Chains A and B, each alone.
Chain A
């Protein structure tokens, strides 16, 4: 359990109720078990990274928590079955960028996060409209996207789009933020900035963050815990417990070495690639530093 953090102003998750609870969870896709025996309890305000080689089912774990992917074992999100927590869960999918010709302003995309799932016509004079506007402006300000929120989102850079999408995920003040490789395809300064933003949201608003990452280094200093998925199993613990030569060697059943650079970054050497039949899902990307 992480150090207690200041909880969100409204409906804070009670200390007794974990935000995410997995017990003996397993996922089978197309008759193949991706991972099994995953036990994980995430408390309010924790920052958890999901790591592992390509094709091991990191995104599937996020989809399980969203209730989009069925799982065996016990899965509870905010004390309910996955997919039942509605707007209390914010989601940022693994992203291709928006089509440059998409004629939708960033602010409208954020607005869809506010009430895009409601039926009926959004009348300009309906009650709550002013509050919605204020919240949308506030969250855009929070992610630092005010300058380009009125531009068509397709014309924004990758980093700008990612900030707007984080605003969309945050606009409903979720208790849990599920992020699927939010730093992927961003350049290094933007990686650092977006990682800092997510860390700040987690710390200041008490939002629990579960984030799939390819490279742990940009978020290493902010992490409370790491879930390391490998073929068939998983290890959960603090980064210093999990990302070690011993643990990873045991997990992969082969010699893996974790090196510490002088600036505190971790480099995993000799990490076995996922079996070839999975790597075709992410052409051009090889499992680098974990």
Chain B
């Protein structure tokens, strides 16, 4: 039965010989580029996502990614590469969100209402741009839900350059940023420029979201931006290990997603998101089980100590 299916799907079928399959897949330059771009984007998203989850700025991250959609479709409409549209709009949106003054304790709520309003409007703009562009735009679907086809070598270089800048900047500001995220009052008293770091982080997040959008689509950025980070944080509370784990999970699900998407007729966005979701569920279950186990083994220990 399997053999029959394989024969029917000979072009891209899984041959059960992994080495041969990988060789066949990587024989195509577009797949090599997809793996390069995917790896670059996954590392950036994994690291930036860890900070985003810690700072509880997932909503801002989602908004920045969504803004990439009108950016990309607008860029295509005026005849520029979608890559530049993503970056221009996402970084500009980051600056706008950072510039919106937020007052006092209710600032958070106010910010989310405003952010949500702008997000919906820009999504609608993106829809208009795709409607205005009557040509063969790779489809609204791939902008929204991701695609690995047609990633050019130039695009890979742009993604790499942006990733180097983003990760380099993050390495420079990472420690004060962590301090400002966990303990803003004390950090400010120690001379950490909390407000400036918050703006800088949003801009870096915008760039990371723009890069991620190009693999997962604007609506599924969380597959790489939130899920690996949340998975890592449910497994470890150590900052260094968490960052490494987050990046590793992001790279793993991207590679797995690309491979499976190549050999099946279903889209990349679905696979990457599904694998990331699977990782997260497993990590949660594992952490829960470990907690129960620890509680069970700790209980008699304390009883013994008291006796």
Contacts and interface: CB of A to CB of B under 8 A. Distances in A.
A151 B238 CA distance: 10
B267 interface: no
Contact of B179 (A92, A102, A112): A112
A103 B186 contact: no
A93 B185 contact: yes
Interface residues of B, number: 27
Nearest to B173: A119
B175 A115 contact: yes
Contact of A119 (B54, B172, B236, B242): B172
A112 B171 contact: no
Contact of B171 (A108, A121, A151): A121
Interface string B66-96: 0000000000000000000000000000000
B237 interface: yes
Contacts of B185: 91, 93
B52 to A, nearest CB: 13
B178 interface: yes
A114 to B, nearest CB: 10
A91 B189 contact: yes
A92 B190 CA distance: 11
Contacts of B54: 102-104
A117 B191 contact: yes
A72 to B, nearest CB: 21
Given A108-B237, A120-B171, A169-B186, 4 more contacts: A86-B191, A93-B185, A116-B179, A121-B171
Interface of A: 66, 68, 83, 86-87, 89, 91-93, 99, 102-105, 108-109, 112-113, 115-122, 151-152, 168-169
- What 7 A-B pairs come out closest when comparing CB atoms? A116-B179, A93-B185, A103-B233, A152-B237, A91-B189, A117-B190, A103-B237
24 contacts: A68-B189, A89-B189, A99-B56, A104-B54, A108-B239, A109-B182, A112-B175, A112-B178, A112-B182, A116-B176, A116-B178, A116-B179, A116-B183, A117-B191, A117-B192, A118-B175, A118-B176, A119-B173, A121-B174, A121-B175, A122-B175, A151-B237, A168-B183, A168-B186
